Amino acid sequence: MPEPATTRKRFVALPKAYAEARTGLICLVLVAWVAFIEFHIAPQIRLTFFYLLIIALGAWGGGTLSAIGVAVISSLAFLLREVDAADGHSLPGPAIWNVGMQTTVYPSAALILSALRRVTGNLKRLAGDRAAELKREMLDHTQTEEQLRKTMQQLRQLAENITDVFWMKDAGEARMGYVSPAYEKIWGRSCRELYQHPQLWLEAIHPEDRERMVHVAQDPESNSSYDEEYRIVQPAGPVRWIRERAFPVRDGAGKVVRVVGIAEDITERRRLEREIIEVSDREQARIGQDLHDSLCQKLVSLAFDTNSMAERLATRSAPETEAAGQMTVLLDDLITEARAVARGLFPVQLESDGLASALEHLAAMVSSRSKVECRVECAAPVPLRDNAVATHLYRIAQEAVTNAVKHSRASQILIFLRTREGRIELCVTDNGVGIPASPAPTGGMGLYTMDYRARTIGGTLSVERGPNGGTVVSCLAPQSSEWRLP
């Protein structure tokens, strides 16, 4: 049983064959008619042009076979007319030449016209196929443009309604290609000004953060990808905290062609985090003060009573004298421990001894409780006008020392404190195994808390491997936190 496609081709071929046969028949009738006319006119008159027209009709409408058939019959008709014109005599030389030429020209014309018809048909089919292909491409292009328009409209609606700033620019260009309207609310400046003056983005960054952000944005190794927090200063004066994330967009060859970013106003979050830490610090200070004023005093009173009891037992030579003496020693140790805990919870009091003294107490406590030698170097007094800055610096040093004792397997820890160009520099180094080049996430909050405390007081924190091994934790901070948000 033939395939459906083959059947369809046969049904298509049948009308075509009928049309070619009909055209061939019509051409034969026309040839006979022209020959009849030619036999009844003067012998000098030849209707060669009309034969060629009929051959052209046969070649164009009937195909190669029809054209050849019409050409042969036309040649015979021409030959018969020449014979008839000779009146039974032999054909003269010119007549023989004419017959030979017609016999050659007619089939040649049929072949040429048939070939031209095929070429024209092929060109027509190709043109039709190309037109159909172009039509499909135009339809696809139209649909793609419509889909792209809808997508761009949705993206624009999203960008214009989110509270974060969405921006986009070409790689290597300072001029912004697009910035969402949220920029005007957060930065306090108009988008038009930013388009005209791209440097306004950096000029709005707080002077203490500007150099760092310029370095981050222009670092070739980052490939324009970063996640940073910094401060901006609005024209009216308020300071806002911004978290900005940038991502590179690459072409098919992997080349960065565009950079997009999202800038989020985290001022409220920073304020809440700061309040949480301040509440935690105040609560720790309250607990430390309660330990010092209540528990330690009661332990001291109990130690006096125990010592007095031991002395009375000694005068009587009672066997409990030794036990009473051990209780006295134990109470003295408990008092020392309680005071150390209280000191750790409430470490810094500027009106008494200050940050350097608190760090020395921290080093002494670490040295006494562990096998690690911990010491403080502070060549000159470090003036601090803000107890909050001193408290944050102490907590950073406390966390760094605790990490060194727990994780670095260090035998020596050095706490270095000094002033440099009007700022406080705190540095904690150890001789341990050092921080890994790519530290794995442990889920701890130590590094995050240290970094947050440094940024809260307007400082910067760095944690890196030491030149001779070990870990170096450095914090550079202002002497006061007057710039902080209210």
The percent of residues above 70 in pLDDT, for the chain, comes to: 69
Contact 46, 79 (CB under 8 A): no
442: nearest Cα among 483, 393, 407:
407
Q: Using pLDDT thresholds of 50, 70 and 90, give the confidence band for residue 280.
A: confident
The percent of residues above 90 in pLDDT, for the chain, comes to: 9
pLDDT in tens, 381-403: 777 767 778 888 888 998 899 88
Write down the pLDDT at residue 350.
43
Angle of the 321-345 helix axis to the 296-315 helix axis, nearest 10: 170
Average pLDDT of every residue of the chain: 76
Burial of 397 from C-beta contacts in 10 A (0-12 / 13-18 / 19+): buried
- Find the radius of gyration of the CA atoms of the chain: 51
The SS3 of residue 474 is strand
Residues 6 or more apart whose CB falls under 8 angstroms from that of 256 comprise 171, 223, 224, 248, 249, 250
Q: Using pLDDT thresholds of 50, 70 and 90, give the confidence band for residue 351.
A: very low
Region 426-454 average pLDDT: 76
What are the distances in angstroms from CA 282 to CA 78, 97, 277, 321?
A: 126, 127, 8, 44
Structure tokens at 147: 């889909």
Structure tokens at 336: 């020392």
Q: Using pLDDT thresholds of 50, 70 and 90, give the confidence band for residue 362.
A: confident
Alpha helices in 207-257 (DSSP H): 207-218
- Whose tokens are 């209540």? That residue is 294
Write down the pLDDT at residue 370.
81
Contact 65, 73 (CB under 8 A): no
367: nearest Cα among 314, 320, 415:
415
pLDDT in tens, 118-174: 677 677 788 888 888 888 888 888 888 888 888 778 777 777 778 889 888 888 787
Q: In this structure, what DSSP letter does residue 347 have?
A: -
How far, rounded to the nearest angstrom, does the alpha carbon of residue 381 sit from its chain's CA centroid?
A: 49
Write down the pLDDT at residue 132.
86
Res. 485: pLDDT tops 60 = no
pLDDT in tens, 165-202: 988 888 878 788 888 889 989 999 998 999 888 888 88
Region 276-284 average pLDDT: 75
| pTM attached to this predicted model | 0.52
Res. 444: pLDDT tops 60 = no
Structure tokens at 363: 């080093």
Strand segments (E) across 62-146: none
What are the distances in angstroms from CA 144 to CA 133, 148, 267?
A: 16, 6, 42
Res. 481: pLDDT tops 60 = no
Structure tokens at 34: 């022209």
DSSP for 151-199, written as a single string: HHHHHHHHHHHSSSEEEEEETT--S-SEE-THHHHHHSS-HHHHHH-TT
Residues 6 or more apart whose CB falls under 8 angstroms from that of 73 comprise 28, 31
Q: Using pLDDT thresholds of 50, 70 and 90, give the confidence band for residue 346.
A: low
Res. 16: pLDDT tops 70 = no
Write down the pLDDT at residue 382.
78
Q: What gap in Å lies between CA 324 and CA 307, rounded to an integer?
A: 7
Half-sphere exposure of 381 (CA within 13 A, CB side): 6
Q: Using pLDDT thresholds of 50, 70 and 90, give the confidence band for residue 9.
A: very low
